[in-house]
Amino acid sequence: MPGIINLDDLTDKDKAQMDLDQKKIEVKLERWLTSKCCEEIKDYIVAAEEEDILVKGMPEDKNPFKEKGGCVIC
């Protein structure tokens, strides 16, 4: 993995080459319609809804943050 590159130290030609290299990578990526992606995400969420703690809630006996006992001030 290359180290950190300070853009201020690069010439305009180097910056343009980096931009071109990035665009060559991006143009090869498969693109999907947003409507198709949204449907797939929705289906995934609905399928996993039963096990989702954020939707269903955590059972009291498995909650590690539940207080074990009350606080008593004498």
What is the pLDDT at residue 55?
Answer: 83
Q: Is the pLDDT of residue 2 over 70?
A: no
Say if residue 1's pLDDT is above 60: no
Mean pLDDT of 7-30: 93
Task: Please tell me the distance from the alpha carbon of residue 63 to that of residue 30, in angstroms, as a whole number.
Answer: 42
pLDDT above 80 for 70:
no
**Beta-carbon contacts of residue 18 (< 8 Å; ≥ 6 apart):** 10
